[in-house]
Amino acid sequence: MSTDDHSQPPRLSVIVPCKNEAENLPSLIAEIAAALSDQRIEIIIVDDGSTDGTAEAAFAAGQREGVPLRVVQHANSAGQSAAVRTGMLHAKGEIIICTDGDGQNDPQFMPALVSTLDARGEGFGMVGGQRVGRKDTAVKRAASRLANQLRGALLADKTRDSGCGLKAVRADVFARLPYFDGWHRFMAALVLREGYDVDFVDVIDRPRQHGVSKYGVLDRALVGLIDMFGVWWLKRRYRRRAPATELPQPQSSER
């Protein structure tokens, strides 16, 4: 099934949170369309208060590639977590794929995420990317490595790289996750909290081609540490899970 077939609802919704990524979007959208050309998809660009024409660049690229594309725009910048949540709330697909708008996440790995999620079955809620060959600065890599070690010890979320933006999540599972600012960095732990398993695929990290990162190191590390303990608390407060089955209506006894 190609992306040109719009007669059926999308199976995959690709969410791309963006702030001032007009230069990166044309190539990124073309790569997403090519990588998922045999799937029914929609691309949702969440414009997080951009001032560089991000929305216009997205629409132009979507028309050029002939791919179903929607733009949801925040009136002001609310951050990456809010942008991911906005995209999730607007998504129509059964599976939601998240990817960063800077182009460092390579779309060629999206089919592997989806096929792994399909193969694992309904007991798995998410398949995430784990970056190899990181292209960030040495300071960012060191900070990320330390944060991942601490997070793994505290949350046991099965991943060495929770910060990778490339993820495939079942839409019904995504909708159950508790939201807070910073949740996109703890997606694996939150999916596990809901009683679903997670898996991971190694992906190649790429250098940013245009623009600069919108996120710092020290400020993000401090907030992330606080969030980490918050997620630990959330996991401890959700220990009892009872599978629920809706009962059929009883047969009427009237004759």
Q: Give the rounded distance of the alpha carbon of 73 from its chain centre.
A: 17
Asked whether the predicted pLDDT for residue 162 surpasses 90, the reply is no
Beta bridge partners of 13: 42, 96
Q: List, in order, residues 6 or more apart from 168 with CB less than 8 Å away.
A: 95, 96, 97, 110, 113, 114, 116, 117, 126, 127, 128
Which of the two residues, 95 and 138, has the higher pLDDT score? 95
Asked whether the predicted pLDDT for residue 159 surpasses 90, the reply is no
What integer pLDDT is reported at residue 219 of this predicted model?
Answer: 47
The model's pLDDT over 47-71, given as tens digits with 9 standing for 90+, comes to: 999 999 999 999 999 999 999 999 9
| Prediction pTM value | 0.82
* The dihedral sign for the CA sequence 7, 95, 210, 46: positive
Question: Cα separation of 222 and 225, whole Å?
Answer: 5
Q: CB of 241 within 8 A of CB of 195?
A: yes
- Name the amino acid, one letter, at 195: G
Q: CB of 152 within 8 A of CB of 231?
A: no
The model's pLDDT over 206-215, given as tens digits with 9 standing for 90+, comes to: 877 766 665 4
**What Cα–Cα distance (Å) separates residue 249 from each residue in 245, 246, 255?**
13, 9, 17
What integer pLDDT is reported at residue 132 of this predicted model?
Answer: 86
